[in-house]
């Protein structure tokens, strides 16, 4: 089995809820062992586990137009890993959750992709054609927000399990499956 870790921070549970869906999608792919790894706050980052993973999907809420401060803390702490090139050639991808349809999530994805590329990782985007183009109602459409450099999700200011449109949740598992599938191809 090849290992894929979904490394995320969530202040109020929405990104954690989305991460679970990404995990569920990745776990459907044969030969992939997916795992959720929370970072920031009280969580101790399992650096050795991340070193042993073959692919990392990063997830963070968008706070003030960028990654959350706890996730940035994780990024900065990874400088020792960077120095040792421990993540070089691993597959990387990213997703972000915010309250507004835009919310400046692009800045967050740029921060995540730059981070991965600094580590020498291979950045994978989201290939799904926005399904609104094919007549799917916006609430059910995958890639509703039309982002290709990574997955963008919007969450209402309600309880995490009530805050996402069905299409956004489907996007999250679709994205996890896509990254895991590409990764599975890369290693074969
Ligand atoms: C400090 C802070 C800053 C935020 N900044 C943005 C923002 O720049 N754009 C946006 O659309 N939403 C913003 N939001 C809303 C969050 O992105 C949204 O509530 C998200 O679902 C939170 O995810 P979480 O529950 O995983 O922390 C912000 C929320 C907080 C608490």
In the prediction, which pLDDT does 104 show?
98
**CA 99 / ligand 1 centre spacing (Å):** 6
Alpha helices in 40-130 (DSSP H): 47-52, 69-77, 79-84, 105-118
Place of tokens 């702490």: 77
In the prediction, which pLDDT does 187 show?
52
Question: Which pLDDT band, with edges at 50, 70 and 90, does 186 fall under?
Answer: low
Question: Which pLDDT band, with edges at 50, 70 and 90, does 183 fall under?
Answer: confident
Kindly provide the b/e burial profile for residues 24-36, where b requires at least 16 CB atoms within 10 angstroms of the residue's own CB: ebbbebeebebbb
Q: Which CATH superfamily is domain 2-187 in?
A: Flavodoxin domain (3.40.50.360)
Question: Residue 61's beta-bridge partner residues?
Answer: 97
Tokens linked to 10: 């969530």
3 state DSSP class of 33: strand
Burial of 175 (0-12, 13-18, 19+ CB in 10 A): buried
d(Cα 31, Cα 10) in Å, to the nearest integer?
Answer: 28
Residue 8 · residue 16 · CB < 8 Å? yes
Tokens linked to 108: 């967050």
Domain spans in the chain, listed from the N-terminal domain onward = 2-187
40 lines ligand 1 (CB under 6 A): no
- What pLDDT digit, counting tens, does each position of 55-84 carry? 999 999 999 999 999 999 999 999 999 999
Q: What percent of the chain has pLDDT over 90?
A: 96
15 lines ligand 1 (CB under 6 A): yes
155 lines ligand 1 (CB under 6 A): yes
Q: What is the pTM of this model?
A: 0.97
């Amino acid at each position: 089995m090849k290992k894929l870790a979904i490394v995320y921070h969530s202040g109020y549970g929405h990104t954690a809820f989305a991460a679970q869906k990404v995990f569920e999608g990745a776990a459907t792919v044969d030969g992939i062992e997916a795992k959720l790894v929370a970072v920031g706050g009280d969580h101790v980052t399992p650096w050795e586990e991340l070193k042993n993973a073959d692919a990392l999907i990063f997830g963070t809420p968008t706070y003030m137009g960028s990654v959350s401060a706890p996730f940035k803390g994780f990024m900065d702490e990874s400088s020792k890993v960077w120095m040792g090139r421990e993540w070089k050639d691993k597959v990387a991808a990213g997703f972000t959750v915010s309250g507004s349809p835009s919310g400046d999530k692009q800045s967050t994805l740029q921060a995540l992709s730059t981070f991965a590329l600094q580590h020498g990782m291979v950045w994978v985007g989201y290939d799904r054609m926005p399904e609104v183009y094919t007549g799917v109602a916006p609430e059910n459409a995958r890639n509703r927000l039309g982002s290709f450099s990574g997955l963008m999700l919007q969450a209402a200011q309600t309880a995490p399990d009530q805050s996402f449109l069905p299409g956004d949740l489907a996007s999250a598992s679709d994205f996890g499956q896509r990254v895991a599938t590409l990764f599975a191809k890369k290693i074969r």
